[in-house]
Amino acid sequence: MMDTVRVEVPVRATEDPEKVREAVMNVFPDLEIEGYGDFLKGEGNTESLSELREALERRRIRLTARGILIKNMRGKLTRIYINKQAALIGRVNVLEEPITPLGDIMVEIESDDIMGIIDWLAPDVSGEMEGSMDEK
């Protein structure tokens, strides 16, 4: 089975669908995004996660993202949510579940090697921060 990344985001009546699309494209520039009623959906492979991976590193939230991805794992699937408003201005805020009234960007990853994908996307960097403690 190939690795699959699915992205889905609600478009509320009060929102401009193009702005919602822009928010998704800021985080997933390679994804083909299509509209389905009140949702925009896109599907790609793990390469679609490259920008997200860089954003997690830049914002130093890899451990947070990793915790969510592991907690939300169900067999070969995991998911994480990204705040839509933040994504529109090019920031990545990760959430465990959708909490924003306007809806958040749901990112679902499916892979036979789901832990391998999580390790790549959000590596366990806890050791890097504790350097001095290891030297005892």
pTM given for the model: 0.90
136 pLDDT above the threshold of 90: no
pLDDT in tens, 93-132: 999 999 888 899 999 999 999 999 999 999 999 887 544 3
- Residue 120's CB is within 10 A of a number of other CB atoms, namely 13
Query: What integer pLDDT is reported at residue 128 of this predicted model?
Result: 75
Q: What is the mean pLDDT of the chain?
A: 92
pLDDT in tens, 9-63: 999 999 999 999 999 999 999 999 999 889 999 999 999 999 999 999 999 999 9
Query: What integer pLDDT is reported at residue 135 of this predicted model?
Result: 38
pLDDT in tens, 61-83: 999 999 999 999 999 999 999 99
Query: What integer pLDDT is reported at residue 130 of this predicted model?
Result: 45
What's the half-sphere exposure (Cβ side, CA atoms, 13 Å) at 77? 6
Query: What integer pLDDT is reported at residue 40 of this predicted model?
Result: 97
Query: What integer pLDDT is reported at residue 7 of this predicted model?
Result: 97
User: What's the rounded Cα separation, in Å, for the pair 24 and 34?
Assistant: 11
Per DSSP, the chain holds a count of helices (H) and strands (E) of 6, 6
